[in-house]
Amino acid sequence: MKITDIKTYCVNMFRCNYFFVEIVTDEGLTGLGEGTLEYKDNALAGAVEDIKRALIGRDPSQISLLGFELYRNSYWREGPVLMSAVSAVDTALWDLKAKKLGVPIYELLGGKFRDSVPMYANCWFPSSKEPEEFAYYAKKTVDMGIRALKWDPFGKNYLYMSNKDLRHAEDIVAAVREAVGPDVDLLIECHGRFDPKTGIQVGKVMEPYNPMFIEEPCPPDDLDALAEVHRKSPVPVAAGERLYTHYQFKQFLEKGCAD
């Protein structure tokens, strides 16, 4: 079996687009992968087009070899555009191999580990700005059976917040906690925006409402700042979604950047 084409699909999905890659073979089998990179659709499509030249005519079963070559042969490495393209291709190759063998992908990765996974709701708070608005939609979402909610209560603040804005964020979280009760998990998203001092403040202010975690309290390219917040925050820290290679994750883990 040989790769004959790689197609891309950009799909409108509310505030950003989803980006899919389809690998086509001479046997008629195709594999589908996803490499969504918010607001960088054209760059991602160009990266896949560059990768395509190196893959046409190759054996798609050699997943590790092809991924290694795509990374090794790129003079500029680790960036989100290249690595999102490589990731989409890698996922599509696994999908293709599973179809060829007639098994689910998890059978190729050690077998099924669990029968279900917990989920959280995102984008459940349309246009909400005030605590009572967030509380209304939180209760409405939980009434649907959702047991975890994630959102960003910090408005447009960046690096630091005034006491007024921090109190407003706290009021929002307090209103949501009161609306949904103690058994629903609250996941507080920071979107990588704060300096260490503010990130630590956020953790302390959120502690009384027992959130599952605060996510990305500091910019993802400042691992030292993230590690400092992790050491001093009374609330668990989640992070890592904007890292792209095992080299980056090695530093992330060694510095102790998250729970």
Neighbouring C-beta atoms of residue 206, cutoff 10 Å: 23
Residues 85-103: what's their mean pLDDT? Answer: 97
Is the predicted pLDDT of residue 16 greater than 90, yes or no?
no
Q: Tens digit of pLDDT for each residue in 192-249?
A: 999 999 999 999 999 999 999 999 999 998 999 999 999 999 999 999 999 988 889 9
Q: Tens digit of pLDDT for each residue in 128-184?
A: 999 999 999 999 999 999 999 999 999 999 999 999 999 999 999 999 999 999 999
Is the predicted pLDDT of residue 63 greater than 90, yes or no?
yes
Q: Are 65 and 102 in contact (CB under 8 A)?
A: no
The percentage of residues in the chain with a pLDDT greater than 70, rounded to a whole number, is 100
Q: Are 202 and 190 in contact (CB under 8 A)?
A: yes
Q: Are 203 and 173 in contact (CB under 8 A)?
A: no
The pLDDT score that the predictor gives to residue 13 is 86
Average pLDDT, whole number, for the chain?
Answer: 95
Q: What does the angle CA 176 – CA 182 – CA 187 come to, to the nearest 5 degrees? A: 55
Decide: residue 176, CB within 10 A, 0-12 exposed, 13-18 middle, 19+ buried: buried
Is the predicted pLDDT of residue 93 greater than 90, yes or no?
yes
Angle of the 196-206 helix axis to the 163-180 helix axis, nearest 10: 30
Q: Are 213 and 235 in contact (CB under 8 A)?
A: yes
Q: Are 139 and 179 in contact (CB under 8 A)?
A: yes
Q: Are 188 and 155 in contact (CB under 8 A)?
A: no
Pure H helices in the chain: 41-55, 63-72, 80-101, 131-142, 163-180, 196-206, 223-232, 246-255
Is the predicted pLDDT of residue 79 greater than 90, yes or no?
no
Neighbouring C-beta atoms of residue 91, cutoff 10 Å: 20
Is the predicted pLDDT of residue 56 greater than 90, yes or no?
yes
Long-range contacts of 45-54 (CB under 8 A, 24+ apart): 45/8, 45/10, 45/19, 47/81, 47/82, 47/84, 47/85, 48/6, 48/8, 48/21, 48/85, 48/88, 48/89, 49/8, 50/85, 51/6, 51/85, 51/86, 51/89, 52/5, 52/6
Nearest to 20 by CA among 105, 119, 87, 112: 87
pTM of the model: 0.88
- How does strand 237-238 pair with strand 213-215? parallel
Domain 3-109, classified CATH 3.30.300.20, yes or no: no
Q: Are 2 and 59 in contact (CB under 8 A)?
A: yes
Q: What fold characterizes domain 131-255? A: TIM Barrel (3.20.20)
Listed by start position, the domains of the chain span 3-109, 131-255
3 state SS of 2: coil
pLDDT bracket for residue 75 (50, 70, 90): confident
